[in-house]
Amino acid sequence: MKMKKLERMEKEDLKKLALDMHKGLVFTDTQIQQPANMLAMVFMPLAFISINKKWVDQVGLIYEYLDKAGPRSINGMPTFMSMRIVPRADLPVLIEYVKKYEEAEKAVKLEISEG
């Protein structure tokens, strides 16, 4: 299968993904202990596609929702028969949204603790 150019994500989709990441509903390639050896074992579609440098350069993050994980795990990590991709161009925006959710949670916890 030949990989096509990755399309940019909508801001609302990035915001939802950031919130879901903050809630712990998403597993990403950054959570794999040894990505070079394990990436295609966790995200199995990678084992079946033809990957070239041009496509790899477009990829910012590979992820999937944990409820899509298969029944087996490998080295304590989930395995997926599907995957989603955040284009590299959208990754800084996603990271910023995740940081904002983390800051908002800290602010609420501080407010609660100060009573």
Examine residue 2 and state whether it is found in any structural domain, yes or no: no
Q: Which residues pair with 80 in a beta bridge?
A: 43, 69
Rg of the chain taking only CA atoms, in angstroms? 16
pTM more than 0.75: yes
The Cα-based distances of 96 to 13, 42, 51, 61, 79 in angstroms read 14, 26, 28, 14, 27
Question: Whole domain around residue 85: which residue ranges?
Answer: 11-114
Tell me how many domains the chain contains.
Answer: 1
Examine residue 83 and state whether it is found in any structural domain, yes or no: yes
Per-residue pLDDT of the chain (115 residues; tens, 9 = 90+): 556 778 999 999 999 999 999 999 999 999 998 867 899 999 999 988 877 888 889 999 999 999 999 999 998 999 999 999 999 999 999 999 999 999 999 999 888 888 6
The Cα-based distances of 20 to 15, 58, 67, 91, 102 in angstroms read 9, 23, 12, 15, 12
